[in-house]
């Protein structure tokens, strides 16, 4: 079989993910090559993702390379993937999920969430809205860029702490900077957080596709993410919409908790459901309908109006 060409963004975390995928492919006896690609999300760092437009902000240029055959697969953080991929793209594998929590990261040893002068840096509308809901006294400032850039901005005084995903901090070896692991029943993560998603074009040869999926896909993680992504798809949520969702597996059962929070943090709708894992996508979809009917549709409209969607 010809070597598998892996497309990735060029940040250190994105490259970690690409090398992680490459190692798994090599263990399966497959030859590989890594190709780095710059996206619009990497180029524009002084504007929030919500204002750039969330659809494809980290994927459009990479998908162009999938389309012209420069690369065979693209490696992404699953949480960055839009809920519906344009034709002719598909996700064919999800790697085993890392711990999903949001964390507070700082050089300062004592970060107290009750501190009325605390300033937290984050570029996520979900995290900002959650902080406004649970800790309305905390001030937030937008901090964008790769992980190292954000940490550099914090060290330069932009904020006291950063709110980030545990997975990225752990993978980059910054675990000693984590000051708080935020509880999942409050700070429920973004859909897909902690997993690496593998994207390809539907034109990718069947043998290659099967070999890649066999080497990379983690069945339990895939089940959880199919549920979460079905929820996101029904809500039409992108990176700029403060939607949250987390599916967990217990034997044959899957439990999914998901919801939406208003941008000002005043209103939050949170629902949960448990059912057979074989109906993961149906459960995610149905819970989204429940959230919309419970007032989520009104919140979603308000958010889109405020963001100019």
Q: How far apart are the two ends of the chain, measured CA to CA in Å?
A: 45
Residue 97, Ramachandran bin (φ over 0: left; ψ between -120 and 50: alpha; else beta): beta
Cα–Cα distance, 181 to 106 (Å, whole number): 12
Cα–Cα distance, 140 to 119 (Å, whole number): 6
Catalytic residue among 42, 46, 72, 80: 80
Q: For the CA atoms of 265, 186, 59, 76, what is the dihedral angle to 10 degrees?
A: 170
Q: How far is CA 257 from CA 25, 155, 186, 244, in A?
A: 33, 35, 11, 8
Is the CB of residue 150 less than 8 Å from the CB of residue 143? Answer: yes
Q: Is 80 marked active-site? A: yes
Token digits of residue 302: 């308000």
Cα–Cα distance, 143 to 180 (Å, whole number): 19
Q: Which helix (H) or strand (E) holds 304?
A: helix 297-307
Full DSSP string of 35-96: EE---HHHH--SS-HHHH-STTTTTHHHHHHHHHTS-SEEEEEGGGS-SSPPTTEEEEEEPP
Q: For the CA atoms of 156, 160, 164, 168, what is the dihedral angle to 10 degrees?
A: 50
Q: Which helix (H) or strand (E) holds 260?
A: strand 253-261
The residues that are catalytic are 80
């Amino acid at each position: 079989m010809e070597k598998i060409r892996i497309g990735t963004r060029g940040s250190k975390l994105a490259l970690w993910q690409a090398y992680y995928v490459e190692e798994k492919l090599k263990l399966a006896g497959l030859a590989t090559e890594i190709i780095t690609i710059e996206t619009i999300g990497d180029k524009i760092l002084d504007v929030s993702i919500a204002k750039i437009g969330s659809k494809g902000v980290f994927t459009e240029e990479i998908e162009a390379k999938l389309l012209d055959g420069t690369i065979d697969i693209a490696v992404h953080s699953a949480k960055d993937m839009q809920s519906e991929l344009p034709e002719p793209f598909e996700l064919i594998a999800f790697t085993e999920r890392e711990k999903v929590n949001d964390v507070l990261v700082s050089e300062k040893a004592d970060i107290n969430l009750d501190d009325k002068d605390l300033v937290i840096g984050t570029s996520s509308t979900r995290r900002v809205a959650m902080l406004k809901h649970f800790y309305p006294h905390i001030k937030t400032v937008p901090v964008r860029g790769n992980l190292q850039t954000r940490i550099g901005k914090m060290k330069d005084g932009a904020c006291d702490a950063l709110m980030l995903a545990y997975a990225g901090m752990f993978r980059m070896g910054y675990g000693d900077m984590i000051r708080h692991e935020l509880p999942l029943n409050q700070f429920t993560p973004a859909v897909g957080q902690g997993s690496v998603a593998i994207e390809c074009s539907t034109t990718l040869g069947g043998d290659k596709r099967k070999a890649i999926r066999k080497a990379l896909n983690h069945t339990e993680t895939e089940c959880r993410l199919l549920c979460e992504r079905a929820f996101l798809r029904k809500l039409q949520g992108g990176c700029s919409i403060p939607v949250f969702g987390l599916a967990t597996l217990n034997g044959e059962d899957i439990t999914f908790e998901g919801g939406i929070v208003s941008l000002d943090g005043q209103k939050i709708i949170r629902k949960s459901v448990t059912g057979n894992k074989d109906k993961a996508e149906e459960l995610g979809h149905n819970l989204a309908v429940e959230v919309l009917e419970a007032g989520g549709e009104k919140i979603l409209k308000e958010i889109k109006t405020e963001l100019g969607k």
